[in-house]
Amino acid sequence: MLERFRAFWTKVFAPIANLLLRLGVSPDAVTLVGTIGVCAGALVFFPRGQLFVGVLVIAAFVFGDLIDGHMARTSGRVSKFGAFWDSTLDRIGDGAIFIGLALYFAWEEPSRIYLVLSLVCLLMGGVTSYARSRGETLGFSVKVGIAERADRLVAILAMTGLSDLLDLPVLLYVALWALAVASTVTVAQRVWAVRKQAMAETATTI
């Protein structure tokens, strides 16, 4: 759903991407810096209860995901390693966000249930991405599900920031419940999609 906004934001940040290319900065370096920034925002600020500040830091670096892609396409440096690098670091950044929230519920605002939910979101978010990657490697179409990565990322960041800014922790609680369910459903949808295609493929070869 939120992928439709990618073209708009890419145009907004195109001048920055072009400047970095002129300075000799590589797209892979931008990807790395962006991931480090996301991890720092999540693992430094979230466990200390500074949720809104953490979200601002993370949001600032998340746009690196748009900048590096534009840089790679503009410079003609699109490569298989670049795609692998970007996808791998995305998983690290996404994981850091939920680890930061788990530490927040372990230290700053103790709650076993929301600590567990944070870990469930961490696990199922990773499996969601893996299921698509593995399925596509096997030649199946797996772009299905109610919770794409962009949707999950925006939802958790928006609700985390607003819960702190408005002093309404229920917003974060609702977001974690919703994402835990949505991510689990998405994994099931992708498994089912691959199963149907695999069975149809098997049937045609008999």
In this predicted structure, the answer to whether residue 127 has a pLDDT above a threshold of 70 is: yes
Please confirm, yes or no, whether 94 is among the known catalytic residues.
no
Alpha helices (H) along the chain: 6-22, 27-40, 51-62, 64-75, 80-103, 112-137, 149-165, 170-205
Q: Count up the domains in the chain and report the number.
A: 1
Q: How far is CA 197 from CA 37, 131, 139, 148, in A?
A: 39, 14, 10, 20
Given this model, what pLDDT does residue 1 score? 42
Stretch 43-58: mean pLDDT: 97
Given this model, what pLDDT does residue 79 score? 81
**Under a CB-based contact definition with an 8 Å cutoff, are residues 180 and 117 in contact?**
yes
In this predicted structure, the answer to whether residue 85 has a pLDDT above a threshold of 80 is: yes
pLDDT in tens, 170-181: 999 999 999 999
Given this model, what pLDDT does residue 3 score? 52
CA nearest to 100, candidates 178, 177, 182, 176: 176
Poorest-pLDDT segment among 68-82, 122-136, 162-176: 68-82
- Mean pLDDT of the chain, nearest integer: 89
Stretch 103-116: mean pLDDT: 95
CATH number at 112 reads: 1.20.120.1760
- Pairwise CA distance, residues 178 & 128, whole Å: 15
Which of 68, 86, 90, 94 is flagged as catalytic?
A: 90
Stretch 190-196: mean pLDDT: 96
**What's the domain range around 12?**
2-205
> 10 Å Cβ neighbour count for 203?
8
